[in-house]
Amino acid sequence: MHPRILVIDDHEDGLQMLAMLLRQLGCFVKTCSDGNECVETASNILPHAVVLDLAMPEHDGFEIAEQLLRADLPRFELVAMSGYCDAEMQNRCQKAGFNRFLAKPMDVEALRSLVIDLKANMRLKVVK
C-alpha cells in the first residue's frame, strides 16, 4: 500500500518536481495548482497527507487548509510548504492546524522522513 499524497502549489515546475520526488519515494501523488479544486481532489483520493504551499495567488495556504480541515475527510497529515520559514511563520502554521512545516527549497531527507512516518502510520492502522 502506497501513501496517497495531494500536493498543492501554484508554481508548476516546483509542483511537478515535488510530485516526482514523492513518486520516487513510493507514493501515489495527485496535484492541484490552485485552491479551487483541492477539496474535490482530496475527496476523490482521500489522502494520507496534503502538502500545501502557503503562498498561493487566489487563496493562500491558510485559507485552503481551513477548507480542507472543514471538509468531511478522514484524518490526514497537513504539511505546510514555504520559502518563508522563520519561527513566526512556523508558529502560525501550527496554530492553523498544520502538522509539519517543510522549507523551500525542498530537502529530500525531510520528504523521506514524511513518507517513512506515513508508511509507519499506515502499518499501525492495518494491525489494529
Position 126 in a domain: no
* Number of domains the chain contains: 1
Position 104 in a domain: yes
Position 19 in a domain: yes
Position 82 in a domain: yes
Q: What is the pLDDT along the chain (128 residues), one digit of tens a residue?
A: 799 999 999 999 999 999 999 999 999 999 999 888 899 999 999 999 999 999 988 888 999 999 999 999 999 999 999 988 888 888 999 999 999 999 988 889 999 999 999 999 887 665 44
- What letter does residue 36 receive in the DSSP assignment? G
CA–CA dist 97, 38 (Å, integer):
17
Residue 86: predicted pLDDT: 85
Position 65 in a domain: yes
Q: Which domain holds residue 108?
A: 4-112
Number of C-beta neighbours around residue 57 at 10 A: 8
pTM of the shown model: 0.92
CA–CA dist 18, 14 (Å, integer):
6
